[in-house]
């Protein structure tokens, strides 16, 4: 499906901490192999036990809307025809304490409320720098 804010809207920068999340095609969360702590965004060591022994795990791809704001003012020229759109903080099932950002799509933007159950889908976009395509997670009502 086309990206909510346009297929050519701002893409994530792929770096050591973002590449997995934006290319895997599933919801990937960083876990500590020593203490089991889940953290997002990923970092170079575990914030619970300082271990460097970290791995990504595949989450079920469901979650819950913890907060949502409806954006009316387009701060980027490409958003002038896209407002209003919702931005949500979503708690990720299977990753205690981990929240991610996304839009909730496929419904009236003003209808999204705290407590909504959502399911991840992935917008596949060519990588402008070449190589494997981006698979940008976003969310729709479950």
Partner 1 sequence: MHGKAVVAGVGETTYYKHGQSKDTEFQLACQAVERACADAGLDVREVDGLISYMDTRNSPLRVAEALGMKELRWSSTPWAGGGNNSASCVMQADAAVTAGYASYVVAFRALAQGQFYRLGSGSTLASGGAPEGLSWGLPYGEMTPAQECALHTKRWMHDHGVSQEALAAIALASYANAQRNPRAVRYGQPLTREAYHASRWIVEPFHLFDCCQENDGAAAVLVTTPERARDLKQKPVPILAAAQGAGPEIGIRAFQKKWFPGMYYTNVGEMIWQRAGIRPKDVDVLQLYENFTGPVVMALCELGWCRPEEVDAFVANGALEGPDARLPFNTSGGNLAEAYIHGLEMTIEAVRQARGDSTCQAKDVDYSLAIAGPGYAPGSAILFGGTH
Binding-site partner at residue 80 among partner 1, Zn ion, none, CB < 5 to 8 Å by type: none
CA 48 to chain centre: 22
CB count in 10 Å sphere of residue 67: 11
Binding-site partner at residue 5 among partner 1, Zn ion, none, CB < 5 to 8 Å by type: partner 1
Residue 125 burial class via C-beta count within 10 angstroms: exposed 0-12, middle 13-18, buried 19 and up: middle
Residues that bind partner 1 (CB under 8 A): 3-5, 8-18, 22, 39-41, 66-73, 75-77, 79, 82, 84-85, 87, 89, 97-103, 114, 128-129, 136, 138
Contact 59, 119 (CB under 8 A): no
Residue 26 token pair: 């599933």
Binding-site partner at residue 32 among Zn ion, partner 1, none, CB < 5 to 8 Å by type: Zn ion
Residues in contact with Zn ion by CB under 5 A are 32, 34-35, 37, 46, 48-49, 51
């Amino acid at each position: 499906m086309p990206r909510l804010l346009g297929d050519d809207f701002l893409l994530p920068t792929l770096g050591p901490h973002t590449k997995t999340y934006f290319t895997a095609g599933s919801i990937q969360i960083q876990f500590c192999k020593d203490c089991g702590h889940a953290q997002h965004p990923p970092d170079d060591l575990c914030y619970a036990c300082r271990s460097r022994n970290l791995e990504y795990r595949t989450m079920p791809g469901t979650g819950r809307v913890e907060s949502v704001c409806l954006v009316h003012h387009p701060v980027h020229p490409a958003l002038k025809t896209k407002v209003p759109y919702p931005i949500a903080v979503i708690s990720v099932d299977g990753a205690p304490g981990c929240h991610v950002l996304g839009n909730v799509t496929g419904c009236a933007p003003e209808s999204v409320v705290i407590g909504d159950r959502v399911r991840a889908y992935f917008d596949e976009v060519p990588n402008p720098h070449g190589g494997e395509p981006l698979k940008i997670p976003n969310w729709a009502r479950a």
